[in-house]
Each structure stands twice: as C-alpha cells, then as structure tokens.
Structure 1
Amino acid sequence: MSHTHRYFEMLGAAYEVPSEADRFDAFLDAAMAYFFGDEDGNGQLAEDVPRHSGDDAKLESHRERISALIEEASRREVAGADSFHAVLEVSARTGLVTGNDSAAQLTGQTFPCRLDDLPLDSMAIAMIRQAKRTNQPQTQDRIVLTDVESDMEADRSRACLALIQRPKDLNDIVQVSLSYIHWSTELMARLRAAFGLTASETEILEGYLGNLSQKEIASKRGRALETIKGQSKSILRKTGCARMSDVVQLCASIAFLMRQLPSEAPTQSAETWVTPTRGMSFLNLPDGRQLAWYRIGSGSRPVLFVHGYMQGPFFTPDFLRRLRQADICLIAPSRPCFGYTSPSRTRDSHDQTVVRDALALLYHLGHTRISLCAHHGGAPHGFRIAKALGDRLGGMLVVGGTIPFDEETHLPGMNPMSRFAAAASRHAPSVMKMALSVGLPVYRRRGTTAFLKKQFARSPSDLETLDDPILREVLSEGLYHAVEQGTEAWTRDGSTVMADWRADLDSVTIPLTWLKAGEDTVISTEHVQALLGHRENVDLKILPGHALNLIHTAPDDVCEALAQIA
C-alpha cells in the first residue's frame, strides 16, 4: 500500500472517531500502518514515510477540525445527560399522575395513571402520599433515593433521586423530579472523605447504595457476614445516623447537591483526571512563567528528582516509608507543560527551559550542592541538568532510564505503542498530536486503566501491577500529570526522549548508578549494556523480574541506591 493510500486510511479513520469513539483503536492501527506499512513485520519505518521536523500544515488543519467535532459530540452528550430529567405531577385531590416524555420513558407508563401504577418503591410512594395529605406547601423539599423498575427493563431497576415538592404556585399538585444517579468512583471518594470512612467501609456503603442486603454485600465482597455487620455499625457511628436507610438518604441528598447525574454513566469513566497537589508548591520564575514542584518526604538529605515521561513524581506508601527510613527528601520539579508548570516559550526552547527551571529551583531553595535521580524518560533532561550543575553535582542515579535513540537499532525491538510514539515524535509531530487529540477524550471515557492496559499489552510484568489498586492509582496520577495541560507535553518531551542525546551522556563523568529493568519492553537490556558496558564511571545493575514500573516494584533497590548518593 502506498504512502498516499496509508495517509488517507489514517485520516479517514480519524474522522470516524467523533461519531463512534470505539473506532479509536482502528485509527491507531491505521496510524501505525502509516509509519510501518501494512504488516509492521520488521519494525522499521516504511521507506516512503515523509520526514517532518515541525508541524504539517495540512494535517494540523484536519486535526483541528476533528478536535472540534469531538468537542461538539461531547457537548451533545452532556446536553443529553442534562435533559434526562423525568418530572411527575401528582394531583393531591384525585391521585392521578401526569408526566413529561422523560418520565414516560423512565417509568414505562402512559399518562395519566394512578399513583399506585408508578414503578417506584414503597418508601417513595409513601412520601408522595404524605406530601399529598399536606394542606399547605412544603417548607422543605424531600429528597429520597428510589428504585425505578420499568416494563421496558423488567430484569433491572434503576437507582434514581426523587425530589418531592409541594410548590406554592401549583395548588393541588405534588411535583416529583426523578434523575438517574450513578455512584461513580469520584462520588464515592467524596462521600468517603465527607464521612471519614475507610476504603473497606466505602465499599460496603456502595453495596447499600446499590440496594444490596448485608448477605449480598458479604457474598459480593468475599467477606464474612459478621465483618459486614461490624463495619456497618462503624458507618452508622461516623455518619451520625440511626439506620442504614437514613445513611442512604443522606448520601442521596449529597449526590443531589453535587449534581452527579449523568444519563449513561456506566460508559463514562468517573475519574477526575486532575493532577494531585499534595506536597506541591509554586515558584515564580524570572521569565514570567510559573514552576510547580513537589517536596516528597521530610528527610534532611535532599535529592533532585527528574520525573519520567508518563510517570510523574508520585509514589506508593511503601516507597515513601523507605524514603523516611533513609532520611531522604526528593525535590521534584514538573517539567514545562507537565502538571501545573507553565510551557516553555517555544517548542524549540523546551530542553533549555527544563534546565533553567531546575537551576532556578535549586537556587531558590539554597542548595549549593545536590545529588540527582533521573527516572525513565527524564534521563536526557537529568544528564543536561547534571552537566549544568558541574562540580555542584554530588552523585547521580538513573532508574529505568531511556538511552540516546538510534532509530535503526532501537526501533524494531520496542513495543508497538512506544515504536509508534518514537516514529511520530521524530518524523511527524502532527501525527502524534492528532493521535493524542483524538485519543485523550476516548481514554478520559474509558479510564486510565484501559490506557495502561494498552500501553503494557506486551509487558506481562507491568500488566500484573495493575492488579494492585495502590500502584494503579499512582500510575494514573502520573498520566494526569502528563496531560493536565493537554497534549503538548507529550509532543515536546517526546521529541527529547526519542533524540540522540549521546553528547549529554558523555558530558557526565562522575561515578553514577544505573538501575535497568530486566524485562523492559521499550529499551532492551542488550542495547543498554552495549552503550554503558565500557564506561568506567557507570555501575549498571540489571534487576530481573521488573519492567517499566521498576521504581514502584523495586522500592528496596531504588531507595538503597538513593541512600548511597544522597
């Protein structure tokens, strides 16, 4: 297939994504075929692929148009969610019920109908009857969580919030507004914080909100019934409620106030996609920009930490505990476009800005001499900073670092996603930007776990780490950090990671330790050994059984190496 044919195949696939998000995978396949041909057999770039050092004007215009289509599709979806609001009006005199189209669709009823015909649970019906008997308008609205069973969905019920009102301006009318509620991860996290619940108690509360009995919760969670009963008492104590039904209604009221009412929430990821700010500070820079940086740990031995590409300055509790034991504190600036740090003035000045930001932070903190740890894709930046520090550099550690990129040698051995990123970053930044612009909204819906599974598809060791909820959360935070400001961080930093920065590596001659994951699917152990094996100043340590997530899966080795350089 010719380059022109592959180009239009990729473009056509991209235009299908706004109307059908599931087509993103087909677009990604077409984008890979654009670079590597139909078969992608040997991992080498197709000979007819054009090389662009900057943006492709034509492709940029298509990218902007597709982004606008995706934004419009998202806006329509939100509008559709907002319109899902079933309104019932119950006559206090006759008991007959009328409703709007949404109410008819939700309840499966033809209006008018009797109150007893509504597929609401007994508590909701009782509260509506109570409102009917009240002769005067209610001074306070009632909010109740009710299960709605529809004839059109006989095998399932939908948890809805029912807002029951007796408006002053509507004589003889009780108004009931029904809105579907999804007990999302974000909403449960807020309820957990509001009540001070443990993670286990939050899971049990989620069961009650799903209308499960204690036995059903115990069975679903794989726990003893007595454990569920004990933790239920703890939930009652913390919420100040006498009965679990009161807790459920309290949660319903909170959910109503938060307006967490999507119409098709099961297809939408509930993640916030917000970069964490714990331990973060800002530094105003001389060029008018702002640098966000993190202090990780409270030890007296500081180490400058240069974060990875997709993995930011976020760590597991186990890693932080080992930092405390070693009396180490990591000083971790976010690079331009990452997290909350301002972009560099131009794309070409990105690398120099990274170095200037790091030096400005160290000057601000009063560190005249400091050791440095570079993680993964932060390695090229780490060596440039080390070079700029000169004799102020104490020691240096590289954890799972990338190496100066050689296209012919390294490209074939990479996993498919990394190979695509390398080719796009080096030769077609506009393709990279299009993939990110099209893909980011898709994965905001699917969630970070779906993205990470795609990224780790060829790495069994890394896939296993996703079974750990703590590590999965840390990896997700790194992804939020990378896309907080959109796609530009990946474009700018990606070109740095996939460049030949051998001169920067050669410039650092002090003794340094390099930890290499034995099962890394991006850079092979053989290539790292070939590059570093003859360097007398490098202590290369291969850690078998670890892969891309080395810094999290081998905290003992990493913190021991940190302690040696701090």
Structure 2
Amino acid sequence: MKHFLSEDEAEAETGGSLTEELASLQTEVLDRLYGTAVDPDTLGDLVEHWETLVRPNRRRPSHIRQAVLERAGVIRHVARLEQVLERTLTVRSAPPDQDKVLRLRRTPAFSTDGTGVIHSANDAARSTIGAVAGMALTALPFHPEDMARLAAEVRDLISDGAEARERHEDAASTRLIRARRCRDDRLVFLHLRLMEDAQPLRQVLVLSSDMSWSDQAYKLLTDAFGLTPAEADVVASLTECGSVKDIAARRGRSVETVRSQMKSILAKTEARNQSDLMRLTISLSDLALLPGSEAMPSRQDTVGPRISRGGQQLIARRYHSIARPDGRIVDYLEFGDPDGRPVINTGSNFGYCRWAAQAEEKAGDLGMRVISPIRAGFGGSTPLPQGADRLSAVAEDYAALMDHLQIAQAHFVVVDADLMFVARLNTLFPGRIAGVLGCAMALPFSKAAQFDRMGPWHRFILGTSRYVPQMLPFLARAGFAMARSLGKPGFIRKVYAGSPADCALSRDPLAMEAVESGTDVVLTADFDASRHYATEMLTVHAHGWAEDVPRLLDAVPVIDLVGTEDQSMPPETVRELTEAYPQVSFRSVDRAGNFLIFQKWPLMLATLEEMMTEAAAKTEVGT
C-alpha cells in the first residue's frame, strides 16, 4: 500500500483542504475504527491502513503531526469510538454456542460460503428477504447481476482470508456492496464480514440495510454523532429509499431541505459520501440491535484473581499482599527456594508473573527465591489514583515489597519495557539492584526508523503510543477484547505471526499453561486491565525515564537476551541500541521471539546464575 501524503502535502494540509487520496484514506481508517468499536475481532482490518496514515508523520515535528491527524479527522472521533466500544463490551452477549447470525435480532443477517449457499439466517432475514438455510444466493429477491457480484465478493473474501492466514498476515475482512430488490427496485446495502471464528475459515456474514429501525438505533445515531431527530430519520430513510428525491417524497419535504440535512449529516459523521455513511450506519445498527440490552458491570478495575491457577504441571499458587501507606494493596507471588538468593521478576505489562513449571522448579534447585510483584491495577493490586506518577509509584512499591520481605538487594529479571521501573527504582533507592537480566527487554527507542522496522502489530501499538497517544486507550481496550474472543493462544498467533518461535509456543501446552496463568492478572473472562496497560504504554514513550537509564547502566551489570525473531527489536535496531548503550551486553538468541522467557528458560536461568555468581565473587573481593 502506498503512502498517500508527501512531506510538502502534509504541511499544506495543516491549512488547506484534504487531498482526494488523504480523504479516501481517512474514510478507510474511520470505517475500520468504527468497525473495531462494534466488533473488536476486526481490529486487524485497521492495522495496515493505520500504518499508511501514521507512518509519514513519525518523522515530522509534533505540532505538524498533530495538525495533520486532526485534519484527517481521527482525533475528533476518539470520544465517540470509546462510547461505542464501551456499549459493545457492556451488552450482554449470546451464549457461546449460539450462532453468531442469530445474535442479530432486527438486522437481517445470514451466513454463506464460497459455494453460494446460505448456511444460516436470522428471523429478520427470513421475514424481509426470505432467506433460509440451504437456499442458493441466486434465489434471493435481488437482481441477478447483484447476486452474482455478492457471490464473487464472498469468494474473494474467503480466498483472501485463507491466503493471509497461510502467510500469517491480516487481510481486509469487510466489504460493502449495493443491490436492488426485484419487486420495487429499492436500493439495499449488503455489508459483508469475514467470520474469522468459523471452522474452517470459509464463511461470510452478510448484513442487509433492509431493516426495521428501533428507538434504540435512533438513540445511538443521535448520541454517537450529535444528529438531530430529523437527521436520524433521514439516515433511516436512506437505508430504505436510497436517493435524496425519494427521501424528500417520503418525508414530505423539499429536495433542497433533504440535501441540506444530508450535508449536515455527512459533516457530523465525517463520512465522504452516502456509501460511507451507509457502511457506518449498518455497523452501528448491528450494535444497537444486539439482543439483550441490559448493561453488565464494567470489567475494568474489578478485582483480579486471588489464586494463580495451575495446569498440567504448573502448581497453583496463592497471591500474597502488602498494604501501602495510601491504603492500596500490592499483590505478589513467590516460587523457588524460600531461603534462596532473591530474584525480582517484573513480569511486563502482559503479566508474565509465572514461569514454565520446569523453570519454577529449577529456580528452586539453583537456590533462587523468585518474587513476582503485581503492579497497580493488575490482578488484585489496587489501581493508582488517576494522574498519579505511575513510574515512581511502582518503583516505590518494589522497594516496599523488598523491605517487607527483608531483601536488601536483588537481581531483576526484566521483560519488555519494564526497565523503566527498575531504572526509577535505582534512581530513588540506589543500591537495591544487584544486576539486571533482560529477556526480550526493550530500551528507549529514539528513532522513527526503529518503529518502521517493527512487526506490524508491534508498530501499530508501540507507534501509536509514541505518535498518536490519544488513540491508545481505545486501541488497547479493543485489543484486550479481541484477545478475550480469540483466546490467548489465538491472540499470540495473530499478533506475533511474524515469529515462528512465538507461534510455536502458542501450541506448546506446558509453556502456555504458564503464559495463561500469569496473564490472568491482566485479562480473564471477567477482568480487564487494559486501561492500566495503556497507561504503562504511554509512560514508556513519554521520555520521562530516559534519564534514569544511564544511572542504572553505570551502577549495575545489565545483560539483555534478544531473540532473533523479536518483533520489536530486529537486528538493525539491536545494533543501534548496542551503540547507544555500550554498557549493556546484548546477547542474540536463535529461534526466540518476544516470549523468550518461556522459550529459552534454561538459558535464562544459566545466565542469571552467571550474574549472581559474579556478583558474589565481587562482594567477597570487596570484603
């Protein structure tokens, strides 16, 4: 996909009208953002288009970048997107074994495959277009050429999805086509959506705009876009009439009045044309008409698990806790040798507080006492007040936990961006850290090219954190919802598709029991720490910890084990970081990715033992 905006064009856009190409990209991005808000499983449809919009801006000054994104209309939609997503996540879902088609009550919906036969249809589809299971698409009451196009688009969606899955890539999973009914030539929009959870992946969900409008649907349109009741009625009429002239005749208004209302509607929804408006309207109607509108309690900030579950070999463990002076509770886990040498396992913002069962047992054999603190807002640890300095608060919690356990100094095992907390701990409490072993540990990124080189999903989230931070809470919440829907192994295969080692790990039951148990502190069926995950990601890219890093690197030995398949730190980036941080010993690990701590745990423990032995030898020399 090409990059739509040159440097000169971008600067011109801060004061001029949108180019046709940028306007087209804006429509694609907004369409996919609202599609994600309605169905978080379609988040992958957004990744490529988002990159096309954001990538040129990574090299621009922040004020120009902000202006371009505002001109593109993305930032203005944040509040609306969060509102729609929140509604999606609080609507009571159908039972797990209920067909996805049947969850839609008033929106006509049916599923089909590449053979041109309907697999299932809901009551609304049966009553409005006569769709029933086993019927051929050609028997539907639309013009034959329209049904031929529908069948072709279904085959293309299924074929593109299958090819993308083989390549471990994402493919666009939605399309919109027009069709006309035979009896009255009425225009109907058909929204096609690839059913990724179908087994095998060979079905498409078809939603029709030939629907009955409920009070709930009208309310969602007015709330989401600020439409007046008259404007909402025009939108509803558009799904039934298809032309301004027909809408005017139906509503008893002049054509000019309806055109004026349509202009206002397009401006408020920021749709480019009627087709774009219909795509958005159908997506929102899906949400408005879901069965069971009773709201469930928000799954954010509820209390997380109090027992870390076990598995085939993994031992279930009880969480311990300490009380902080501000009344908060901080949870932690322990495993290994209770009287052994202390190791603090920071766990990352995905909550890797457990190791593989063999690794936990081996740590005990080596005389290591491993403590995994659970950060504020994760698991049963009390969230921080809004606006709190998370960096310093977590560092202070680490120090308090060490004091509670009577640990004067410890080695730290650090994953992902957790170095920021350890570096701040060193700044606030010098001498508490004996050494740092990174397992796929990230250091501060300073160049746009370092984001360009990342895998698509890592670039999507990490790049958004740095360059479009306003969008991150929405994207994080949607990502967590997608993970819940796909299951943790499925989420790994989707997001870490560029790493064969990470994908293989998702199929290893002994590794996954540790991953799934540990990550319960951020995501379970009824617990969601996405807001705190987003806060940490924004902290990573706020540059507030970059000054702490040199102090830490000058004070203690630091080794970073980096997999050759690490999606956030490819070899060129590692070379740049080696030059920028010569105090760090970067060690390349073959056939390992971001889950190195689970994939290469014998190497991790051997390296940790090496560091601890050297530290003990230096202590003896010093005494």
C-alpha distance in 2 between matches for 1:361 and 1:33: 45
Partner of 2:34: 15
Q: 2 CA distance for matches of 1:320 and 1:441?
A: 30
CA distance in 1, matches of 2:61, 2:23: 12
Does 1:549 pair with 2:595?
yes
Which residue identity is paired with 2:477? S
1:409: Cα distance to partner?
Answer: 3.3
Partner of 1:505: 549
Alignment partner of 2:88 out of 62, 67, 70: 70
Gaps of 5+ in 1: 85-104, 106-151, 154-272
> Which residue number in structure 2 is paired with residue 50 of structure 1?
66
Matches within 5 A, 1:127-138: none
Partners of 2:607 and 2:24 lie apart in 1 by 51
Deviation at 1:497, TM superposition (A): 3.1
Indicate conservation of the 8 Å contact 2:75/2:471, yes or no. Answer: no
State the aligned residue count: 375
After TM superposition, give the deviation of residue 401 of structure 1 in Å. 0.8
Q: Give the structure 2 partner of residue 564 of structure 1.
A: 610
TM-score, normalised relative to structure 2: 0.54
Q: How does 1:484-523 map to 2 (within 5 A)?
A: 484-500=527-543, 501-508=545-552, 509=554, 510-523=556-569
Of structures 1 and 2, the one scoring higher in RCO (CA 8 A, sep 6+) is 1
Q: Which consecutive unaligned segments of at least 5 residues does structure 2 have? A: 5-17, 103-121, 123-132, 135-302, 309-316, 613-623
- Is residue 10–residue 30 contact of structure 1 (8 Å, CA) maintained in 2? yes
SS in 2 for 1:528: helix
Q: What's 2:197 paired with?
A: none
Counterpart AA for 1:25: G
How many Å separate the matches in 1 of 2:558 and 2:38? Answer: 51
Which string of whole-angstrom CA distances, capped at 9 and with x for unpartnered residues, describes residues 539-558 of structure 1? 33222222211111111221
Which residue does 1:286 correspond to in 2?
325
TM-score, normalised with respect to structure 1: 0.59
Whether the aligned pair in 2 keeps the contact of 1:516 and 1:525 (CA below 8 Å) is no
* C-alpha separation in 2, matches of 1:45 and 1:421: 19
After superposition, residues 47-196 of structure 1 pair within 5 angstroms as: 49-50=65-66, 58-71=76-89, 74-75=91-92, 77=94
Please report how far the alpha carbon of residue 9 of structure 1 lies from its aligned counterpart in structure 2 after TM superposition.
3.2
- Secondary structure of the 1:507 match is helix
Deviation at 1:359? 1.0
The percentage of counterpart residues that share the same residue type is 19
Question: Deviation of residue 304 (structure 1)?
Answer: 1.7
Distance 2:26 2:578 in 1: 39
Q: CA deviation at 1:460?
A: 1.4
Separation in 2 of the partners of 1:395 and 1:76? Answer: 48
Relative distance call for 1:439 and 1:522 in structure 2 (3 A) is: closer
How far apart in 2 are the matches of 1:539 and 1:332?
Answer: 24
1:436 aligns with 2:476: yes
| Matched-pair contact (CA < 8 Å) for 1:374–1:399 | yes
Q: 503, 506, 513: which is aligned to 1:466?
A: 506
Say if 1:537 and 1:347 are closer, same or farther in 2 by CA, change over 3 A.
Answer: same
> How far does the alpha carbon of each residue in 1:93-147 deviate from its partner, in whole angstroms, 9 at most, with x for none?
xxxxxxxxxxxx9xxxxxxxxxxxxxxxxxxxxxxxxxxxxxxxxxxxxxxxxxx
1:296–1:331 CA contact under 8 A, matched in 2: yes
Q: SS of 1:287's equivalent? A: coil
Change (3 A) 1:16 1:494: same
Contact map agreement 1:35 1:46 (CA 8 A) in 2: no
Q: Give the drift of 1:455.
A: 1.5
Match of 2:335 in 1: 296
- Given the superposition, is the C-alpha separation of residues 5 and 286 from structure 1 closer, same or farther in structure 2, using an over 3 Å criterion? farther
Work out whether residues 429 and 491 of structure 1, in 8 Å CA contact, stay in contact via their aligned partners in 2: no
Deviations 1:263-322 (A, max 9, x none): xxxxxxxxxx97553242111111121111111223411112222232521111121122
Q: CA deviation at 1:35?
A: 1.8
Looking at CA atoms only, which structure, 1 or 2, has the larger radius of gyration?
1
Q: Work out the CA distance in 2 between the residues paired with 1:18 and 1:63.
A: 6
CA drift of 1:371 comes to 2.4
Do the aligned partners of residues 413 and 79 (structure 1) sit closer, same or farther apart at CA in structure 2, a change above 3 Å counting? closer
**Aligned partners of 2:479, 2:408: CA distance in 1, in Å?**
43
Tell me how far apart the structure 1 counterparts of residues 366 and 465 of structure 2 sit (CA, whole Å): 38
